[in-house]
Structure 1
């Protein structure tokens, strides 16, 4: 399916980590995937081996996050150059879109960098991720993204959940009109996704349906961790819950 073939609304995008997440999301009926690594950090750029394999296996469009690290969205010049290089490489590979976000220190959209990233993306879809939710003035930030020729913005209405941010989400949908797409997110689940859509008029919605599963490793070394203090993390995997994806999509379209 191409992005010009419109599924029945709302269009559902699933945020996934790696190939297995992409396969689970598309099997559950997702319309599109945001492909990431390290969702524990909010998502960073996946490897190009992952992207190439996704291009071989995907039957739905996927957008690739271009984020060189976790933390804030105020990048050094070297980090920004790496983002430009990633966007250009992804355009050459032929993915459907990229997901980016750069802020200035004062909490505004970095228009120069966002414009340059959008230009580097060429014909790809360009989404601004939840860096938008860290801006000081969402109304002005949306206009800045429109000026940068960004096609879509991912937002929870500058709150932890879409239910909490529902008023701003509705305002952003009205402000956007047909100039930019508002992709709503934030704790969406079967019990609330229809309510959020009804109150906001969102045409596109985004969530990550994740669950922890135990590692299949039989041998375990309890004395070594690969980072942090949660030693059990080495033997616990976080995966996309196919059944939860399907249930949330069904709830969104009731």
Structure 2
């Protein structure tokens, strides 16, 4: 079995430290866990970047809610990418849809181009697209390197068949990264059934917003 990689979604500096210390391969830094993750604070990002030697991806999302953005919000996203690029981050995470539930290719392409040379992940906006197969092709066309998805279900276990299908259809053109309810007790099943190469979890096991070191370690050990 191939060794897979693990990304931990972190909502504070302590989580990023815990993720690195316990074997994570990458941190996705966000704010506002209750909103499903939004753009992190710039000062916190500076602190996280200084302390991390592993890869650091930054969420670019101006607010919670849907993934259809106003002109002002789109301009805000562009400004944030330009600012965060100066911090020597390793990638960006975002996703923009149209009102009809399709991928907004024009706006996403613009952000992907702006983020260069850093790779971009299309986040869980993918879980609410109308046509999953057409959207997969659209996201690839936009130049994204990864899709973070639960398989359009409330968690990865319920979406496992769709995830397996996406990995197959992607055919190494883009990385399909299962995320959403992913834990150490189900990650081996996901690896077995989907054959994905990268996995995403917050590794939070209590009511806090901080990753659990033992959970990070267990997640990683179950995909090696």
| 8 A contact 1:11–1:31 mirrored in 2 | yes
- Counterpart CA distance in 2 for 1:174 and 1:211 is 31
Q: Does 1:247 align with 2:218?
A: yes
- Counterpart CA distance in 1 for 2:205 and 2:43 is 25
- 3-state SS, counterpart of residue 210 of structure 1: coil
Deviation of the 1:248 alpha carbon: 1.8
- Give unpaired runs (5+ residues) of structure 2: none
RMSD of aligned alpha carbons: 1.2
| 8 A contact 2:5–2:223 mirrored in 1 | no
- Counterpart CA distance in 2 for 1:201 and 1:13 is 16
Aligned equivalent of 1:9: 3
Aligned equivalent of 1:194: 188
The count of corresponding residues between Structure 1 and Structure 2 is 223
Aligned equivalent of 1:110: 104
Deviation of the 1:168 alpha carbon: 0.8
- Give unpaired runs (5+ residues) of structure 1: 1-7, 214-236
Deviation of the 1:121 alpha carbon: 0.1
Deviation of the 1:160 alpha carbon: 1.0
Aligned equivalent of 2:128: 134
Picking from 106, 118, 124, the partner of 1:124 is 118
Aligned equivalent of 1:218: none
- 3-state SS, counterpart of residue 199 of structure 1: helix
1:29-61 Cα deviation digits (max 9, x unpaired): 100010011111111111111111111100200
- Counterpart CA distance in 1 for 2:148 and 2:14 is 23
Picking from 33, 45, 54, the partner of 1:39 is 33
Deviation of the 1:27 alpha carbon: 0.8
1:204-237 Cα deviation digits (max 9, x unpaired): 0001111446xxxxxxxxxxxxxxxxxxxxxxx4
What is the TM-score when the length of structure 2 is the normalising length?
0.96
Structure of higher RCO (CA pairs closer than 8 Å, 6+ residues apart): 2
- 3-state SS, counterpart of residue 82 of structure 2: helix
| 8 A contact 1:9–1:204 mirrored in 2 | no
- Counterpart CA distance in 2 for 1:205 and 1:66 is 20
Aligned equivalent of 2:57: 63
| Counterparts in 2 of 1:83 and 1:185: CA distance versus 1, 3 Å | same
